[in-house]
Amino acid sequence: MPLDTPKDPALAAKADLDPQNFALANCIRALTIDAVNAANSGHPGAPMGMADAATVLFRNHLKFDALNPDWPDRDRFVLSNGHASMLLYSLLHLTGYEDMTLEQVKNFRQWGAITAGHPEYGHAKGIETTTGPLGQGIATAVGMALAERALAGEFGADLVDHHTYVMLGDGCLQEGIGQEAISLAGHLGLGKLIVLYDDNSITIDGPTSISFSEDVPARLAACGWHVQTCDGHDGKALDAAITAAKAETGKPSLIAMKTIIGFGSPNRAGSYSVHGAPLGQDEGALTKEALGWASEPFAIPEDLGAEWRKIGTRGADARAAWEERLAASDHREALTARLTGELPEGYEAAVADARKALFDAPKKAATRKASQMALEALAPALPAMIGGSADLTGSNLTRVKAVDSQYTRDAPGRYIGYGVREFGMAAAMNGINLHGGFIAYGGTFLVFSDYARNAIRLSALMGVGTIYVMTHDSIGLGEDGPTHQPIEHLASLRAIPGLTVLRPADVIETLEAWDIAIRARDVPSLLALSRQDVPQLRLEPGTENLTAKGAYVIRQFGEGRDVTLIATGTEVAIAVTAAEALSAEGLSVAVVSMPSWELFDAQPADYRAEVLGTAPRIAIEAAGKFGWTRYVASEDDVIGMTGFGASAPIDRLYAEFGITSDAIVARAKALTNR
């Protein structure tokens, strides 16, 4: 095809390395300039610098079919430096993804558009995960690569065989979670994970030399990665590097691409000024001129547009062949069920049997132990379950017989030793769930939800059903002391929109909580579980999942109500003890178990009114009081914590911090004037 050649000798030299690739990449650069200018906000620098590499990737390597974007065996592409979103939107538009219209590109960063400032999962096909919070893209991609390998292990390489490609910048490599992901991927030898590093020597504050001077390839090599470096504007060199990365199947690959941020901009290329601000009309025009780009804004020359659309259907034959293989495969039904997230036939029965067993022979147990019992009962019916822990398996009790095979570099398995990497674990679980075929759950201490917090937020923002198993959920963990005792965590997690927090009171509620979490494939669930034993409070056999109502009256003493006690988790038993004492003194008391605020608030108003009642209410929870005024009149009516915990045996802690049935009784009497 005819190409204009840049006049600037340096640019011309780059263009000459692979003229067609350069011309195709200019389509991305031009759309980026125009969309960011139109929005008058955004990040043009990275898309312009990474355009050549992305073009090589989509043109020669990425396995995808733009007209069938949900093809399960497609390669995954994750733009970890999500602020470069115009790179992704340009690629999706150019290759012909139907929902990524020119109108959407023109409406970049506007209300209602699918072209948000950072790529949002669910907005458009081809956005495999939400990115923007740095480091999480690569960590999520590690989960996708883990899932691919595990699924291939189950169903064979003729049905599951795809790569996970990541583009990232310096920020993702500076963030700690980036290293967690790198270390885990290297440890497990995820050979089909290929990372293209946009090594442009620029961060927001200026040259990376202000804050970042390590030898990145050497660091990744130390972590078991295959590493290469190349010119990020040399299409042929990039192609060779990606080919070599694919050939290395035992290690994840890094391609450190030396790039120029804002490539093509005569006055801003290579400077931090092009990172996060529009080029503007003048510099935009100068840049296009320098690149030899003569089209109107948002217009793509006919020949280049046609070439890009051809790239978009490059994978159509492979996709059709894959569908034929699937149709002919013995695995067809099973794999389809797994990919659609359908629950297996035996699942309902497994839940029912587990319930019945607990009603038949009630158990006193820590809810973390109850969680393990639930997993033991349900996991055999759920081949999709893939578990793990951030190096607290014996404390979280996340490992069960059906989910026991260790995921190693030699063979995939159903249990992942994530190491002491809570944040990396959480993001990887998001990636496993986004990939499809699995239900990922993983454990740590509730207090360390702090470390993983932004990945939990992304689960909720994306609507991904990751299951967080958070044990040691209060001062009840005892001697490890205040650094390990969650106080503000329940409140701060309940404050996250779209996350279901479950704090079950006994073995039955824990089983019910697991059932809720397993069914919730587009809502993340977080189970807060105890270290200490609790009695089984639910003793009356029944098939209804009461935990799903969020709250319910678990004990009623007397007729009517003088006072309502609302408790969660381990404190429900204490509330029952207090209620017994109050009842003995002639008061009518309802004890409400409230395992989940979010589920309760979703109930009809009349149900909520009935459960809460009109009598004075007291809340009991061994955690900070913050937020409980949603249900009680004042924080004075909360039996909870007002500061941090302490290091001591559990009974002493509950007594010293006044989380006792006596305290409840005293407050109830005060409220009812007895």
| Nearest one of 526, 506, 505, 530 to 516, comparing CA atoms | 526
The full DSSP string for 375-441 is HHHHGGG-TTEEEEESS-HHHHT--BTTB--B--SSS--SEEE--S-HHHHHHHHHHHHHHSS-EEE
- How far apart are alpha carbons 313 and 390 in whole angstroms? 41
Of 576 and 653, CB closest to a second copy? 653
Shortest Å distance, C-beta 326 to a second copy: 34
Adjacency order of strands within the sheet including 415-417? 415-417, 385-389, 439-445, 467-471, 525-528, 500-502
The annotation status of 93 as a binding-site residue, yes or no, is no
Identify which of residues 219 and 363 has a Cβ nearer to a second copy in the complex: 219
Decide: 522 and 499 in contact? Cβ < 8 Å. no
CB of 327 to a second copy, least distance (A): 39
Q: Which helix (H) or strand (E) holds 597?
A: helix 597-601
Smallest distance, a second copy to C-beta of residue 487, A: 6
Between CA 195 and CA 256 the distance in angstroms is 8
Q: How far is the CB of 489 from a second copy (least distance, A)?
A: 8
The span from the CA of 364 to the CA of 381, in Å, is 25
Q: Is 58 annotated as a binding residue?
A: no
Cα distance between residue 169 and residue 9, in whole Å: 27
Q: How far is the CB of 222 from a second copy (least distance, A)?
A: 4
Query: With respect to a second copy, which residue has the nearer C-beta, 55 or 208?
Result: 208
Q: Are 275 and 46 in contact (CB under 8 A)?
A: yes
- Do residues 202 and 208 make contact, with C-beta atoms less than 8 angstroms apart? yes
Q: Is 40 annotated as a binding-site member?
A: no
177 is in an annotated binding site: no
Q: Is 21 annotated as a binding residue?
A: no
Which residues are catalytic, by number? 422
| Least distance CB 418 / a second copy (angstroms) | 6
Distance CA 22, CA 477 (A): 60
Say if residues 564 and 539 touch (Cβ distance below 8 Å).
Answer: no
> Which residue's CB is nearer to a second copy, number 454 or number 583?
454
Residue with Cβ nearer a second copy (62 or 487): 487
Whole-angstrom Cα distance, residue 160 to residue 148? 7
- AA letter at 367: T
Block residue for tokens 């590109």: 105
163 is in an annotated binding site: no
Q: Could you give the 3-state DSSP secondary structure of residue 2?
A: coil
Sign of CA dihedral 48, 50, 55, 58: negative
Ligand-binding annotation for 118, yes or no, is: no
Give the nearest distance from C-beta 149 to a second copy in angstroms: 16
**Does 275 appear as a known binding residue?**
yes
Long-range pairs, 598-602, Cβ under 8 A, ≥24? 598/494, 598/499, 598/500, 598/501, 598/550, 599/500, 599/502, 599/516, 599/547, 599/548, 599/549, 599/550, 599/551, 600/549, 600/550, 600/551, 601/550, 602/550
368 marked among binding-site residues: yes
Say if residue 155 carries a ligand binding annotation: no
Smallest gap from residue 209 Cβ to a second copy (A):
9
Please identify, using beta-carbon distances, which residue of 581 and 650 lies nearer to a second copy. 650
Measured CA to CA, the distance from residue 90 to residue 54 in angstroms comes to: 10
Instruction: Please identify, using beta-carbon distances, which residue of 118 and 667 lies nearer to a second copy.
Output: 118
Residue with tokens 């396995």: 63
Least separation in angstroms between CB 665 and a second copy: 23
Residue 182 marked in a binding site: no
Decide: 536 and 564 in contact? Cβ < 8 Å: no
DSSP 525: E
Q: With respect to a second copy, which residue has the nearer C-beta, 96 or 486?
A: 486
Q: Which is nearer to a second copy, 324 or 636 (CB)?
A: 636
Name the binding residues for thiamine diphosphate.
83, 132-134, 171, 200, 275, 448
Name the binding residues for Mg(2+).
170, 200, 202
Name the binding residues.
43, 83, 132-134, 170-171, 200, 202, 275, 368, 395, 448, 472, 480, 484, 531
Name the binding residues for substrate.
43, 275, 368, 395, 472, 480, 484, 531
